Amino acid sequence: MLITSMLACVLLGAEAPAPPVYPDHSKLMERRDESGRVWPIETKEQWAKRREHVLLGMQQAMGPLPDRTKLPDLVVKETERLEREKYTRLTITFVAEKDGDREERVPAYLYLPKPGSAKPQAAMLALHQTHPLGKGDVDFEKGRNNRCVASELAERGYVVLAPDYPSFGDYKIDFAAMYKAGRYGSCTMKGIFNHMRGVDLLQSRKEVDGERIGVIGHSLGGHNAMFVAAFDTRLKVIVTSCGWTPFHDYYGGKIAGWTSDRYMPRLRDVYKLDAGKVPFDFYEVLAALAPRAFFTNSPLRDDNFDVKGVKKAMAAAAAVYGLFDAKDRLAAEYPDSGHDFPPEVREKAYLFIDATLKQK
């Protein structure tokens, strides 16, 4: 499965067309037409049109999602194998894309529970935070406290893929060359494309039930989990920790932190660091996940992502989830901590994943 039905409406492989301008991205229960006229949203079908606008707005800021209709083979290569009591961790690379004869490979850890089950199991994409270790920071071997979600999920019986985000871990990338080539408008979109290839890889494994896949991430991995899930509806459960807040609530609207070569430089170069001009916001990213299961860990003392904005967005998105009778699929924890993923909250997140993906 290369392109989901809800994604087919988005222009792929070319600059995405601009959606209608939404002056207030928090007003999720309205859509605008090309003339700017406002229409109320009262049905799932009407929301689907607004959702198209959300994905187009994301592509205006991130650059277009490259064409996924002619993907190269994944050609997984294993370079190391580590046996642990409950699972085997493979160090691998897989082909994300090809430029002529040149393969671009993504380094990753692949966790296979043991003993192997006769039935395909649920799987999780585990996205790391901002740390030089990359995928190593979500693994028991070198990862920091409260970050080793890949190893912990593998111990619970999940097949887990933990890829490096470009420029972290073993993933070397020349940002200048990537932008000069014009294939990507942001490294954020490059991450989305790579992570969708990660879902392709999980679906290709005989150990995996392709209808039971989710994504989890902390901080950098937390918003990347939301971004990839907005474009890839194969992801049935999304868990984000300390990864998001609306742009106006991010350091009081000072969005320069989103604009490095690793993220979305168009927010600086095109939208001049004006949060009000960015053509999407996290209200919409969250709503675009409906009706799939969503869990956020948003601590009260997170210095990066203001919890007040999270609470506003959760309330707004509940109306969209209500169209699907799915308000119970929105879950939030607000621990009294800083930028962290505390053990008790991780356990709640894992139980949420277990229930959604029907994993014993």
* Paired tokens of 249: 């609530």
* Paired tokens of 122: 């649920």
Q: Is the peptide bond before 132 cis (omega within 30 degrees of 0)?
A: no
The tens digit of pLDDT for each residue in 193-248 reads 999 999 999 999 999 999 999 999 999 999 999 999 999 999 999 999 999 999 99
The tens digit of pLDDT for each residue in 7-39 reads 433 434 467 789 999 999 999 999 999 888 999
pLDDT score of 3 more than 60 = no
Residue 101's pLDDT is what?
A: 80
Entry pTM: 0.94
- Cα–chain center distance at 104: 20
Element (H, E) at 213: strand 208-218
The tens digit of pLDDT for each residue in 71-101 reads 999 999 999 999 999 999 999 999 999 987 8
The tens digit of pLDDT for each residue in 258-292 reads 999 999 999 999 999 999 999 999 999 999 999 99
Please say whether the beta carbons of 235 and 294 come within 8 A. Answer: no
Beta bridge partners of 94: 106
- Residues above pLDDT 90, as percent of the chain: 91
Residue 4's pLDDT is what?
A: 37
Residue 16's pLDDT is what?
A: 74
pLDDT score of 5 more than 60 = no
The tens digit of pLDDT for each residue in 293-319 reads 999 999 999 999 999 999 999 999 999
The tens digit of pLDDT for each residue in 158-203 reads 999 999 999 999 999 999 999 998 889 999 999 999 999 999 999 9
Going by pLDDT thresholds of 50, 70 and 90, the confidence category of residue 117 is confident
Residue 118's pLDDT is what?
A: 79
pLDDT score of 111 more than 50 = yes
Q: Is the peptide bond before 115 cis (omega within 30 degrees of 0)?
A: yes
Residue 14's pLDDT is what?
A: 60
Instruction: Give DSSP secondary structure letters for 106-161.
Output: EEEEEEEESSPPSS-EEEEEEE--SSTTGGGGGSTTTPPTT--HHHHHHHTT-EEE
In angstroms, rounded to a whole number, what is the distance separating the alpha carbons of residues 239 and 316?
18
Residue 327's pLDDT is what?
A: 97
pLDDT score of 141 more than 90 = yes
User: Across residues 341-347, what is the average pLDDT?
Assistant: 98
CA distances from 254 to 41, 116, 276 (A): 31, 49, 11
